[in-house]
Chain A
Amino acid sequence: MAPPQLVTLFRQLQQAFTARPCDLQKCGTLLAQLKIGLIEAGLLMPSGDENLEDLVMARDVLEVGAFWSIRSRDIPSFDRYFSQLQTFYNDYRFASVLPPSPREYPVRGLYLIRLLTQNRIADFHTTLESLPLAADSLTANPYIQHPVNLERWLMEGSYSKVWNAREEAPAEEYKFFVDSLMGTIRNEIARCEEAAYESLPIKDAATLLFFTSQSELLSFAQQRGWQVNVSAGTIAFAKKGEEKTEIPREKLIQTNLKLARELEQII
């Protein structure tokens, strides 16, 4: 059994977390104390047959911790909590001891969004595959559906859909990622525009990039090194000079020599 002071701390944490507005600072200190307590009780990384209630408590602490890190915008901390939760979500599930947590899918969905904002698409898919859901029922779960749709639109290039979906987040915490996601999208769009357009009217560029004011656009343009022609009202994209097609002499010689050697061996 977990020591009683741990349980009281946990109660306090739950209170502080569910209180509106939530007291982030208090949660933080409580979480730190709780984690030490969990380690002492051997529950942070459970390795054997622990008491079921204790396990549920440990998992809840970690889940609260994950949400808390997002609310206080501490992404590395969220990553840590998420990887600690993996044990509870995966290993204990197969042994079917632990009842599933109602917060499991929100946490998993948040992690998926986080991978998207960093453009870690390969990790996104690996995590998606490892979800304990049947693949065709993925879209039935609102917490998972959201990141899955976002990824699909991002890959297709339907950026306006992503933009429109930003307010449809299934949980409060999802919105914390909206800003960084928008940053990712803008960069993507900007790279597309550089390739696809010769020049664009300033006004249209602003709508394409979802900027509401011209000054925002101008600073963004400066960042990317675009030439803004204010008098004509257009943005010209720096053309990459036609790459000179040079014959890679050395490489050709090397491959030819190698080929000759191989042929020699065969004959």
Chain B
Amino acid sequence: MADVEMKPLDDVEAKEHDEKSSPVAEIRSNVALIERAVSTLEPRFTHRVLRTLTALRKRLDDAVLRDAIGEIYTNDDSQAKKALLVWLPAAPPQDHTMDVDTTHVPSTHPKHAQPEPVPESEIYFRLLILHHLLMSPSNYKKAMTLAHETVQRMQALNRRSMDPIAAKVWYAVERTYELLGELAGARPLFLAAQRTASLRHDAETQATLINCILRSYILYNLYDQADKFVTKTTFPASAANAQFSRYHYYLGRIHAVQLKYSAAHDDLEQAERRAPPQRTAPGFYQAVQKLSIAVKLLMGEIPERGLFRQPVLEKALIGYFEIVKAVRNGSLSQFQSTLSKYAADFEKDKTYTLIVRLRQNVIKTGIRRLSLSYSRISLRDICVKLHLDSEEDAEYIVGKAIRDGVIEGRIVHEKGWMECGGQKGGYGPEVSDVFTARIQYCTNLHNESVKAMRYPLNAHRKDLVAAENARERERELAKEIAEGGDLDDEGPDLGEGF
């Protein structure tokens, strides 16, 4: 789950943008937006900037960043400018482009008229440089130093308008640590930052950091600590969908390990629903589906066939598809051979232990099929059909299946057979429970979507004006009616007068 899962996650919210604009121009407009966000105290603009981050990240290179910094920081003596340029190699064309900038820019804008950009822009640049450094493994060490410096700078500045950018910076910090393989060492840093963020009600940073910490626990298989961490923190409700999606995925993983399959299933469903479309983030979608198939099988459900036909999943899930087939057939030998064939894949996806747990489900499915097709079957035959080792085992296994409610039936020990009872009727209190649960789900979904709607500011004014107009019209109408009434009243008079 190393790389595949993370990268697409970033693609979250990647918005289609104008491909024609050059990266430098885009950075410039982004900085302008950040300035606007800071001056109007409207975080919406910052979010818009950050949405373009993923697409922009791929088009960055040294020259682009240098040009952009040169354009934004027109004052050559600026401390921030020097601090930023330190991180970029002074390549030969640099002097040239810098010359162009310094001769070009002042001609359009006088040097002194351009005020120093807000600190948020500086952090934004640092974020861009950080992502740029992370592209090549040789720069990881450098990225780490930059990450530390940026975090210090962020904490020293301590501005609320910086929070959305700070969240992204934290993510980049986590990525740096992970690429260097030192994620375990970063935990104290994240935990401290998470405490600060929650004290400041900084939902964005909090959400990002909670995910970072969970990831670091799960990467080292520390499910116990991860679970305790989850119970001690509350995930901010106003966090972005992408963060929610990851959080639910991690929760699903924890719950699956703890055998809380239905909870895990709910979490994974949430993760899938909140995740960006499959095409933008295929890796995350695959990871969620892999885990969700394992959990579904453990719950005794068989995933739909159509799932494995989706183009995004077809190749990635081939091993899981084989496993599903084995479970469906209730064939232990097929299950074992599939398991050993795809062991390396499952191990890589960290689902191996979950899949191994399926063994008992395979047996249960087998027994269930037998109980449906026979009204009476000898233990010996069960043994042969399910490839069990001995009749004695078969008796215990059938007994357990009856106790667990997998099948309805009894064992007649003296005669050595199993008698299968009739199936339960389809009506009863449990049906109404399921029905209620579904209705509740639908109404909840409806209510949530109503809550999630955005209302533009001052939109009600328009309604007010419309209402005013309507009242006006009504009044006119009333007047007309009154006048008309006069006419009417006059009517009979006239008639009388006639």
Contact = CB atoms under 8 A, between A and B. Distances in A.
Are A and B associated in one complex?
Answer: yes
B431 to A, nearest CB: 12
Interface in B402-427: 402-403, 409-411, 413-414
A21 interface: no
Nearest to B409: A196
B399 A196 contact: yes
B60 interface: no
A204 B413 contact: yes
Interface in A101-146: 121-122, 125-132, 134-136
A232 interface: no
Interface stretch (B134-142, B219-227, B283-291, B322-330): B219-227
A75 B110 CA distance: 79
A262 B397 contact: no
A192 interface: yes
Given A122-B260, A157-B401, A200-B413, A129 B393 contact: no
Interface in B382-406: 388-390, 392-393, 395-403
Contacts of B436: 255
B441 to A, nearest CB: 12
B411 A196 contact: yes
B259 interface: yes
Contacts, number: 120
Given A136-B347, A152-B359, A196 B220 contact: no
Nearest to B359: A152
Given A90-B222, A126-B257, A196-B411, A135 B184 contact: no
Contacts of B221: 129-132
A247 B430 CA distance: 11
Main secondary structure of the interface of A (DSSP, over half): helix
Nearest to B414: A201
B356 to A, nearest CB: 8
Interface in A187-237: 188-189, 191-198, 200-201, 204, 208
Nearest to A204: B413
A125 B353 contact: yes
Interface residues on A, range: 35 or more
A7 interface: no
Nearest to A127: B224
A135 B353 CA distance: 6
A259 interface: yes
A73 interface: no
Contact of B396 (A125, A189, A255, A259): A189
B400 A192 contact: yes
A31 B357 CA distance: 39
B397 A160 contact: no
Contact of B399 (A125, A134, A157, A201): A157
B353 A128 contact: yes
B271 to A, nearest CB: 19
B447 to A, nearest CB: 8
A130 B223 contact: yes
Nearest to B340: A136
A48 interface: no
B360 A155 contact: yes
B443 interface: yes
Given A158-B396, A252-B432, A125 B222 contact: no
B84 interface: no
A259 B403 contact: no
Contacts of A201: 413-414
A142 to B, nearest CB: 18
Contact of A191 (B224, B357, B363, B403): B403
Given A156-B397, A157-B399, A196 B257 contact: no
Interface size bucket, B side? 35 or more
A99 interface: no
Interface string B198-236: 000000000000000000000011111001000000000
A130 B222 contact: yes
A135 B352 contact: yes
A195 B399 contact: yes
B347 A134 contact: yes
A53 B399 CA distance: 54
A245 interface: yes
A130 B343 contact: no
B428 interface: yes
Contacts of A126: 223-224, 227, 257-258
Contacts of B222: 90, 130
Given A129-B223, A130-B222, A130-B223, A245 B429 contact: yes
A126 to B, nearest CB: 5
Contacts of A131: 221
A195 B443 contact: no
Contacts of B347: 134-136
B446 interface: yes
B307 interface: no
Given A135-B353, A192-B396, A197-B410, A130 B402 contact: no
B439 interface: yes
Contacts of A158: 388-389, 393, 396-397
B258 A125 contact: yes
A136 B343 contact: yes
B25 to A, nearest CB: 45
B410 A156 contact: no
Contacts of B352: 135-136
Contacts of B429: 245, 247-248
A161 interface: yes
A153 B480 CA distance: 90
Interface string B255-274: 00111100000000000000
15 contacts: A94-B184, A122-B258, A129-B223, A130-B223, A132-B221, A135-B350, A157-B396, A157-B401, A158-B388, A189-B396, A192-B402, A195-B402, A196-B402, A248-B429, A255-B439
Given A121-B259, A127-B224, 10 more contacts: A125-B257, A152-B360, A156-B400, A157-B400, A192-B402, A196-B398, A197-B411, A255-B432, A255-B439, A262-B443
Interface of A: 90, 94, 121-122, 125-132, 134-136, 152, 155-161, 188-189, 191-198, 200-201, 204, 208, 245, 247-248, 252, 255, 259, 262, 265-266
Interface of B: 184, 220-224, 227, 257-260, 343-344, 346-347, 350, 352-353, 356-357, 359-360, 363, 388-390, 392-393, 395-403, 409-411, 413-414, 428-429, 432, 436, 439, 443, 446-447
